[in-house]
Amino acid sequence: MGEKKMYYNIYGSTGIKIYGSPWQPEFCDWAFNLRTRKELASKWAQIPLDTDILITHGPPFGHGDVVSDGWKNNAVGCKDLLERVMAVKPKFHVFGHIHEGYGVTTTKLLSPTVFVNASTVTVSYRVENKPILFFIKKSNTKQTLTSK
């Protein structure tokens, strides 16, 4: 992805706004790592407040972020990202990175956001998880999520 904004017209779109970011807390020596919370917070601050669908590489804290192998079942998601998601309130936040966290979560009391860890591979990098499909209607505030 990199440091540029890209805009796409989605077939049949009625103005749905999608924002994507590749940044994540430091992990091994991968691309788009940031070492400090200050650096991460500055990237997350760029997420527009009118975003309908947010796409990031890694998860926010508490949603699809629990790892077990060697990490003692710890949640490893980004707290600063969660804070920004709670402020922006996108309809969907789609991410991967933590393969064990595959699935869908919500926090209806704190945010209307549906969190989707869409990782199709397992922790062993085996393609076993089915794609998660969801549908969004801009004219209707209801969110529809279908997994197939």
Model confidence over 96-148: pLDDT tens digits? 888 788 889 888 776 789 999 999 888 888 899 999 998 876 555 455 555 44
Quote the pLDDT of residue 87: 94
Q: Is residue 9 part of a domain?
A: no
Please check whether residue 117 lies inside any domain of the structure: yes
Give how many domains the chain has, as a whole number: 1
Q: Is the pLDDT of residue 86 over 60?
A: yes
Q: And the tokens for 81?
A: 């990202």
Asked whether residue 111 is assigned to any structural domain, the reply reads: yes
Mean pLDDT (the chain, rounded):
80
Which residues, at least 6 apart from 49, have a Cβ–Cβ distance to it below 8 Å?
Answer: 87, 88
Q: Is residue 8 part of a domain?
A: no
Please give the average per-residue pLDDT across 64-84, as a whole number.
78
pLDDT at 38 over 60: yes
What is the structure's pLDDT at 95?
Answer: 93
Whether 93 is in a domain gets the answer yes
Provide mean pLDDT across the span 14-19: 83
Q: Is residue 112 part of a domain?
A: yes
Token pair in block for residue 52: 């309908």
CATH code, domain with 83: 3.60.21.10
| In a domain? residue 70 | yes
Residue range of the domain that includes 115: 18-147
Question: Is the pLDDT reported for residue 9 higher than 60?
Answer: no
Spatial separation of the C-alpha atoms in residues 68 and 100, rounded to whole Å: 8
Which run of H or E residues covers position 4?
none
Q: Give the predicted TM-score (pTM) of the model.
A: 0.79
pLDDT of residue 24: 75
Higher pLDDT, 6 or 94: 94
Residue 133's φ and ψ, nearest 5 degrees, are: -105, 140
Alpha-carbon torsion 65, 34, 123, 20, what sign? positive
Task: Tell me whether residue 12 is in a domain.
Answer: no
At 98, which amino acid appears?
A: I
Per-residue confidence (pLDDT) for residue 47, from 0 to 100: 95
- Cβ-count burial 34-64 (b if 16+ within 10 Å, e if not): beeeeebbebbeebeeebbbbbbbbbbeebb
137: its two tokens: 């209607």
Residue 1 scores a pLDDT above 50: no
What helix, strand, coil percent values describe the chain, rounded to 5?
15, 30, 55
Structure tokens that stand for 65 in this block: 């972020």
